[in-house]
């Protein structure tokens, strides 16, 4: 995700009543990093996050399990958001922002209460490499 998009997401979170995303959160954390920060206490209930992952399971109508290859987390996508953006499909890559909180009615399961959803994302863009070295714009200098 570009820095500009991350900054805009942080501003949106602030406008809808959330705290400003930290630089790491705005850049889009991995799910493993979210779990680690939650365990160390660095991430607290109610903080806003931005995550991307593939939908791997659906439960209770509005709960979706997403996986980014480093881990998985439940996200609750309200009907109003799904109505506006459409229903995420199995194995579809999505981007969500929202509050870190208990998932649905289960106090032992943590997840994200989604406020924004982007669907049909292309796979992450990888920079071309020449002899194992990343290049700028696909060319060597």
Look at residue 124 in the predicted model and tell me its pLDDT: 54
Look at residue 134 in the predicted model and tell me its pLDDT: 44
- Asked if residue 63 belongs to a domain, the reply is yes
- Asked if residue 10 belongs to a domain, the reply is no
- Asked if residue 80 belongs to a domain, the reply is yes
Secondary structure (DSSP) of the chain: --HHHHHHHHHHHHHTTPPPPPHHHHT---HHHHHHHHHHTSS-TT-EEEEEEEEEEEETTTEEEEE-SS-EEEEE--HHHHHHH-PPPTT-EEEEEEEEEE-TT-TT-EEEEEEEEE-SPPPPP---EETTEE-BTTB--
CATH at residue 72: 2.40.50.200
**CA nearest 78: which of 99, 92, 107, 93?**
99
- Asked if residue 1 belongs to a domain, the reply is no
Instruction: Please tell me the distance from the alpha carbon of residue 72 to that of residue 136, in angstroms, as a whole number.
Output: 32
Look at residue 98 in the predicted model and tell me its pLDDT: 93
- Asked if residue 8 belongs to a domain, the reply is no
Instruction: Please tell me the distance from the alpha carbon of residue 8 to that of residue 110, in angstroms, as a whole number.
Output: 26
Q: Can you give the residue range of the structural domain that contains 85?
A: 28-123
pLDDT tens by residue, 124-133: 544 444 445 4
- Asked if residue 58 belongs to a domain, the reply is yes
- Asked if residue 23 belongs to a domain, the reply is no
Instruction: Please tell me the distance from the alpha carbon of residue 76 to that of residue 74, in angstroms, as a whole number.
Output: 7
Residues in the chain where the model's pLDDT stays below 50: 1-3, 5-7, 11, 13-26, 125-131, 133-141
- Asked if residue 115 belongs to a domain, the reply is yes
Look at residue 81 in the predicted model and tell me its pLDDT: 94
Please give the tally of structural domains in the chain. 1
Look at residue 135 in the predicted model and tell me its pLDDT: 39
pLDDT tens by residue, 28-48: 689 999 989 988 989 888 999
């Amino acid at each position: 995700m570009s820095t500009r998009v991350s900054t805009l997401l942080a501003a949106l979170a602030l406008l809808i009543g959330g705290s400003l995303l930290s630089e790491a959160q705005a850049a889009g954390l991995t799910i493993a990093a979210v779990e680690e920060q939650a365990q160390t206490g660095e991430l607290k209930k109610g903080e806003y996050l931005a995550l991307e992952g593939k939908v791997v399971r659906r439960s209770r109508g509005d709960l979706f399990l997403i996986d980014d290859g480093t881990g998985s987390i439940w996200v609750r996508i309200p009907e109003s958001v799904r109505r506006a953006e459409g229903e995420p499909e199995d194995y579809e890559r999505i981007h969500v922002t929202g509050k870190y909180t208990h998932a649905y009615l289960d106090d032992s399961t943590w997840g994200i209460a989604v406020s924004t959803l982007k669907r049909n994302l292309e796979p992450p863009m990888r920079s071309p490499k020449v002899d194992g070295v990343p290049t700028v714009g696909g060319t060597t200098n």
